[in-house]
Chains A and B, each alone.
Chain A
Amino acid sequence: MNKGMFNKKLIGSLMLAVLLSACKSTPMVDKPAGVEDKSPSSSSVAQADGSADTSGVKEVVIDSNANNSNNPLNDPNNILSKRNIYFDFDSDAVKAEFRPLIEAHAKYLVANNNAKLILQGNTDERGTREYNLSLGQRRSVAVKKSFNLLGVQDKQIETVSFGEEKVTPNCADENCHQANRRVDIAYANE
């Protein structure tokens, strides 16, 4: 086995580790993902140590290739580059302050019939992952209804949820939890 792969073991180090309490105020913006599925037909991914495995697990690697051309959706001076809608605790009500943002995206969608939007609901990290996935869905559905009222067709919108997967972890205060309760707007093929 490759000695270079040897991870120094630090038993109990986690118990002593300084708690990472830093809580970013800016939410993570969703990164576009591309998929490279290295299933058996394509070139195989070598195991790190190159040796045969006891049980023969074949590794699959998925990589993102964030690469966007110039367009209004990514122009930082354009409201269309704004993608986050925040929610109050235990609420899926879309607040008035986010109306201009939603109207701008609605206008873009009406003008660009082929554009497709994905609304990604997020929750704070309290509770189980799968349950939060379902909770985040409620928020994305609430935002979708706002778009529908502005004339955007159902076929242009997909509502999904990331639950607690994309939010800032280890929140120490309510501001941090608040930043996590949001719907992110993403366009298909971004």
Chain B
Amino acid sequence: MNKLLNKLRPVLLFIISLFMSLAISPANAALEIEISGGSAQQIPIAVVPFGGSIVGQSSSAAQVGNIIGADLRRSGLFRVLETGGVVNRPTDINQVKYAEWAALQAQALVVGRVESLAGNRLKVSFKLVDVLKQTQLAGMEYNIAPNQLRMTAHKIADVIYQKLTGEAGIFASRIAYINKSKGRYTLQVADADGENPQTVVSSNEPIISPAWSPDGSKIAYVSFEKKKPIIFVQSLMTGQRLTLANFKGNNSAPAWSPDGTKLAIVLTHAANSQVYIINANGTGLKQLTKSSAIDTEPTWSPDAKWIYFSSDRGGRPQIYKVSSIGGEAQRVTFEGTGNLSPRFSPDGKLLAMIRNDGGKYRVALQDLSSGQVQLLSDGGQDESPSFAPNGRVLLYATRVGGRGALAAVSSDGRVKQRLSESGGDVREPAWGPLLN
């Protein structure tokens, strides 16, 4: 299997690079995506380039189909068919000549169009067609502003993904990460496909530990701009910054409660690193853990009952849990040289972590009911695991050629992707919630 993947890799790279350079030429695209692996049973699907034209827009209608195709391909669950050889380009279901698509062995077909409306609006419509049964599986119309075209394509991809796999999609979501370039640190957010990167904050001092608020409107992060780590919460829409915690010593490791009203944070204002809870407006500070060891990297269970964290109270760092209203901590992990950075899957059944095996740091996934652990990554300095909103994919930081890069792996370990930025050093990824 691995040999086959290695053989396929240059081909995949070529296809994807060709695809992306065609699809998104003018964008100041940052993250490049490389995919390996895939599901054994991929659904063959054809996405016809969207018809119609957009008056006064440099972006073409065709990019919508390209974005949808790229999203589906990246999931590893679809085989997106080449449509270049097909002469007829239907933009609605009544124009579909089924024999042509059956000949391509397409099981599903996506057709659609983009039209200009009055008042600088666009109408995007699509139909998902079952080629064998010759019926419509899904169809939607969107009335959008021109700058919502890319996200609308991701939403369409989510509808298709959900219809054909039965699971929620993740394409209409965003990721946050830190890019270090030429001595400058920028916290960026990009679409889940790595495109459309936008800077949230930039500084010539380090920024680490970005954390999305559950509603996706704010990001908490740690900035060293005042010669020490301080936690800020910044609104994405307005840029307004709240200093969440600026106590004596370190202020770090922000983690939102599932309802977004509180954050678990780590302070050293007493002495050693300890976990505290603070309201999202910066009031009501309470100490949660009480030890003479390092307690850090808190994260909430999805039911908000527990805070999991890493601690060296037993010697080497391991993962512990404590009730979110306080109490005695209990040890959770026992294997490996050490375990760090716990993160829950959205359904609360899996715990991702960074496992240290003899100095090699890798992403591991523990089934909380069976206790079974699976190693998901093979780097030596992998960090910062973060679940996609549907729990199917984990994003994490890795190193390639001495530089930071982002990687993603499906939670079953089968599909791997690498996202890298030319000339940059990318780290600290965090996957945001689905956008409505």
* Residue A101 CB within 8 A of the other chain: no
Of the candidates B21, B268, B384, the one whose C-beta lies within 8 Å of that of A9 is B21
| Cβ–Cβ contact A118 & B227, under 8 A | yes
Residues on B with C-beta less than 8 A from A61 are 201-203
| Cβ–Cβ contact B239 & A170, under 8 A | no
A interface residues, tally (CB under 8 Å): 71
Proximity bits, A123-167, B CB within 8 Å = 1, else 0: 001111111011101100100000000000000001111100110
| Cβ–Cβ contact A62 & B296, under 8 A | no
**B230 closest partner in A (C-beta):** A160
Of the candidates B174, B317, B401, the one whose C-beta lies within 8 Å of that of A14 is B401
Given A33-B205, A52-B147, A55-B174, answer yes or no on A19-B29 (Cβ-Cβ < 8 Å): no
Residues on A with C-beta less than 8 A from B30 are 7
A60 to B253, CA, bound (A): 21
CB distance from B190 to the nearest CB of A (A): 10
* Residue A111 CB within 8 A of the other chain: no
| Cβ–Cβ contact A14 & B297, under 8 A | no
Residues on A with C-beta less than 8 A from B405 are 14
| Cβ–Cβ contact A6 & B239, under 8 A | no
* Residue A97 CB within 8 A of the other chain: no
A14 to B26, CA, bound (A): 22
| Cβ–Cβ contact A62 & B202, under 8 A | yes
Residues on A with C-beta less than 8 A from B234 are 60
Given A60-B241, A159-B249, answer yes or no on A134-B266 (Cβ-Cβ < 8 Å): yes
Name the interface size band of chain B: 35 or more
| Cβ–Cβ contact A58 & B248, under 8 A | no
Of the candidates B26, B58, B273, B383, the one whose C-beta lies within 8 Å of that of A129 is B383
Residues on B with C-beta less than 8 A from A35 are 225-226
| Cβ–Cβ contact A11 & B13, under 8 A | yes
Proximity bits, A11-36, B CB within 8 Å = 1, else 0: 11111111111000000001111010
| Cβ–Cβ contact B402 & A56, under 8 A | no
| Cβ–Cβ contact A120 & B147, under 8 A | no
| Cβ–Cβ contact B58 & A1, under 8 A | yes
| Cβ–Cβ contact B236 & A55, under 8 A | yes
| Cβ–Cβ contact A130 & B208, under 8 A | yes
CB distance from B218 to the nearest CB of A (A): 11
A16 to B272, CA, bound (A): 42
A6 to B191, CA, bound (A): 17
* Residue A37 CB within 8 A of the other chain: yes
Proximity bits, B390-430, A CB within 8 Å = 1, else 0: 00000000011111010000000000000010110101100
CB distance from B119 to the nearest CB of A (A): 15
| Cβ–Cβ contact A1 & B28, under 8 A | yes
| Cβ–Cβ contact B356 & A127, under 8 A | yes
* Residue B37 CB within 8 A of the other chain: no
**Count: A-B pairs, CB below 8 Å:** 226
| Cβ–Cβ contact B361 & A128, under 8 A | yes
| Cβ–Cβ contact B273 & A137, under 8 A | yes
Residues on B with C-beta less than 8 A from A62 are 201-205, 223, 225
* Residue B143 CB within 8 A of the other chain: no
Residues on B with C-beta less than 8 A from A52 are 145, 147
* Residue B61 CB within 8 A of the other chain: no
CB distance from A35 to the nearest CB of B (A): 5
- From 28 to 83 in chain B, residues with beta carbon under 8 angstroms from any chain A beta carbon are 28-30, 32, 34, 58
Given A5-B28, A19-B401, A170-B402, answer yes or no on A40-B239 (Cβ-Cβ < 8 Å): yes
Given A39-B241, A64-B205, A128-B361, answer yes or no on A160-B227 (Cβ-Cβ < 8 Å): yes
Interface residues of B, dominant DSSP: mixed
| Cβ–Cβ contact B28 & A49, under 8 A | yes
A18 to B294, CA, bound (A): 37
| Cβ–Cβ contact B401 & A17, under 8 A | yes
Of the candidates A10, A14, A54, A58, the one whose C-beta lies within 8 Å of that of B239 is A58
* Residue A95 CB within 8 A of the other chain: no
| Cβ–Cβ contact B249 & A129, under 8 A | no
* Residue B340 CB within 8 A of the other chain: yes
Residues on A with C-beta less than 8 A from B32 are 9-11
Residues on B with C-beta less than 8 A from A38 are 239
Residues on A with C-beta less than 8 A from B238 are 39-40, 58
CB distance from A115 to the nearest CB of B (A): 15
Of the candidates B58, B206, B266, the one whose C-beta lies within 8 Å of that of A165 is B206
Residues on A with C-beta less than 8 A from B356 are 127
* Residue B252 CB within 8 A of the other chain: yes
Given A1-B28, A128-B297, answer yes or no on A186-B223 (Cβ-Cβ < 8 Å): no
Residues on A with C-beta less than 8 A from B266 are 130, 134
A130 to B338, CA, bound (A): 14
* Residue A96 CB within 8 A of the other chain: no
User: Closest 10 A-B residue pairs measured CB to CB?
Assistant: A58-B239, A62-B203, A134-B273, A160-B228, A165-B206, A57-B198, A5-B28, A17-B401, A134-B294, A170-B402
User: Can you report 30 A-B residue pairs in the complex whose CB atoms are below 8 A from each other?
Assistant: A1-B28, A2-B28, A3-B26, A6-B27, A9-B20, A11-B17, A11-B20, A12-B34, A13-B422, A14-B403, A14-B405, A14-B422, A17-B403, A30-B227, A32-B227, A47-B198, A53-B196, A54-B147, A60-B202, A61-B203, A128-B354, A133-B229, A133-B296, A134-B272, A134-B294, A158-B249, A159-B268, A160-B268, A161-B229, A169-B425
Known A39-B241, A161-B250; further 15 A-B contacts with Cβ < 8 A? A1-B58, A7-B30, A15-B401, A33-B227, A54-B150, A55-B198, A56-B237, A57-B199, A60-B201, A60-B241, A61-B203, A130-B208, A130-B296, A135-B294, A137-B250
